[in-house]
Amino acid sequence: MEKEIAIAIVGGTGNLGQALAHRLAFPGVKLIIGSRDHEKAKTVVETLRKSLGNGSFDGKSNQEAVREAELVVIAVPYEGHAPMLMELKGELGEKIIIDAVVPLKKGKPFTPPAGSALLEAQEILGRETHLVGALHNISVVDLQQPDAPLGDILVCGDNEQSKQKVMEFLLKIGARALDAGPASNAYIIEGLTGVLIQLNRKYKSKHASVKITGIGEG
């Protein structure tokens, strides 16, 4: 039997965290919803249990959630990104970290001083960290429906081994993950989310996402 993997979502009480829970409610995954307020995390977990039933969920403070996990997803708004990473730096250590944060101000993308949210995270946590950028372009509307097809997930980072592990993990949520190069490419992938938001507005959609053609089609 495959070993259970513990996954923490920092900011897991939000849209992305709760949507991901819908794809991770199966044996072999222990999902720990993190929050700045552990009571809020527990309330969200109760709601998830009611709708998803069979998953292994827990609700904790962000610190405790990270401490107990092997894989951590950072899913907080950009304004909380740097302060949160500084707070969690001591706990993140050797763990594999997926950073999904998109720098947005009033729904519009912008370039942070470091060049991207991922490079900013790398500056804070150190280059030796197992940091990987992913999930930026995913639609939470599609994630919430376990049978809905998902867009491709562009994965970037400088640690090849961690990137591979993240791509294997993304298979669990039913997505095709593509290696989109080093961390220096993150600004493009993060910026693409701004384009998807614009497309959703223009075409009155809620789930624009990215599909790459010409790869793996025989």
Q: Is 187 helix (H, G, I), strand (E, B) or coil?
A: helix
Instruction: Rank residues 28 and 65 by Cβ distance to ligand NAP and give the closer one.
Output: 65
Dist. CA 107–CA 95, nearest whole Å: 30
Part of the chain binding ligand NAP (CB under 6 A), chosen from 6-14, 47-55, 145-153, 161-169: 6-14
Dist. CA 96–CA 71, nearest whole Å: 5
The DSSP line for 13-38 is TSHHHHHHHHHS-STTEEEEEEESSH
Instruction: Rank residues 4 and 42 by Cβ distance to ligand NAP and give the closer one.
Output: 42
Instruction: Rank residues 32 and 84 by Cβ distance to ligand NAP and give the closer one.
Output: 84
Which bin fits 27, alpha (ψ -120 to 50), beta or left (φ > 0)? beta
Tokens representing residue 51 in the block = 């709708």
Nearest approach, Cβ of residue 60 and ligand NAP (Å): 11
Give me the helix-helix angle, 117-125 and 186-202, nearest 10°: 140
User: Please, which of residues 132-161 interact with ligand NAP by CB under 6 A?
Assistant: 135-136, 138, 140
Using alpha carbons, select from 161, 31, 193, 52 the residue that is nearest to residue 96.
Answer: 161
Part of the chain binding ligand NAP (CB under 6 A), chosen from 118-126, 130-138, 177-185, 198-206: 130-138
User: Which of 7, 8, 16, 180: binder of ligand NAP (CB under 6 A)?
Assistant: 16
Nearest approach, Cβ of residue 154 and ligand NAP (Å): 12
Residues in binding contact with ligand NAP, number by CB under 6 A: 25
Would you count residue 205 as binding ligand NAP (CB under 6 A)?
no
Q: Which long-range contacts (CB under 8 A, 24 or more apart) does 109-113 make?
A: 109/190, 109/191, 109/193, 109/194, 111/187, 111/191, 112/78
Nearest approach, Cβ of residue 194 and ligand NAP (Å): 10
Nearest approach, Cβ of residue 76 and ligand NAP (Å): 4
User: Which of 7, 25, 66, 84: binder of ligand NAP (CB under 6 A)?
Assistant: 84
Would you count residue 98 as binding ligand NAP (CB under 6 A)?
no
Dist. CA 167–CA 155, nearest whole Å: 7
Which residues of the chain form contacts with ligand NAP (CB under 6 A)? 11, 13-17, 35-37, 40, 75-80, 84, 100-102, 104, 135-136, 138, 140
